[in-house]
Amino acid sequence: MPNWGGGNKCGACHGTVYHAEEVQCDGRSFHKCCFLCMVCRKGLDSTTLAIHDQEIYCKSCYGKKYGPKGYGYGQGAGTLNMDRGERLGIIPEETQTHRPTSNPNPSKFAQKFGGSEKCARCGEAVYAAEKVKGAGKPWHKNCFRCAKCGKSLESTTQTEKDGEIYCKACYAKNFGPKGFGYGQGAGALVHAQ
């Protein structure tokens, strides 16, 4: 049945959006006045927008809600910011435990003739558009995280041990050298005589 009442429906207020007031984002339409951050209600544009699922945020609120947490993740130039967004109404989520798995796809036929490979972390199908290779295995972009702390990794920041991937900090902490003289800073190894 044709839509005689005008344009698309707004992704925020669900009212009709006419062409003159339309902002499009992620395949959805919004009124210009409804194109606001879900947390702080600031107006958004293409340079300040961050999307998570079907929700839109400014980059600042998105980083506080979904970005890395903990010591050393400040807002710039040597600052330490422990603001997790509580004052903006963001409820901090508990970090999910990452379940290390080694689930290679046994079907060579599926790998060769277009079947999807299986993600090494979650075991689900990994298609070419979302595939990241690490430690010789396919991963979803969202699953390509440190097995210890859950930090998102890239090919230049990941290290591998026994088929599992780690950030360089967790790898050094768990598998690096231990004992007197290590961890003194600036690469110094102190020898006591």
Is-contact 85 63, C-beta < 8 A? no
Distance CA 143, CA 120 (A): 8
Is-contact 148 97, C-beta < 8 A? no
Cα–chain center distance at 97: 15
Which letter does DSSP use for residue 43 in this model? B
- Whether the per-residue pLDDT at 95 is higher than 80: the answer is no
Q: 110-140 pLDDT, tens per residue?
A: 445 455 788 988 989 888 888 888 888 888 8
Tokens of 41: 């209600």
10 Å Cβ neighbour count for 33? 12
Distance CA 84, CA 64 (A): 5
Q: 10-43 pLDDT, tens per residue?
A: 888 888 888 888 888 888 888 888 988 988 888 8
Q: 41-86 pLDDT, tens per residue?
A: 888 887 888 888 888 888 888 888 887 765 555 455 444 555 666 6
Degrees to nearest 5, angle at CA 116 with 111 and 117? 70
Q: Which of 32, 36, 90 is nearest to 61 (CA)?
A: 90
Is-contact 35 11, C-beta < 8 A? no
Find residue 9's DSSP bridge partners: 16
Find residue 55's DSSP bridge partners: 52
pTM: 0.37
Q: Which residue type is seen at 68?
A: P
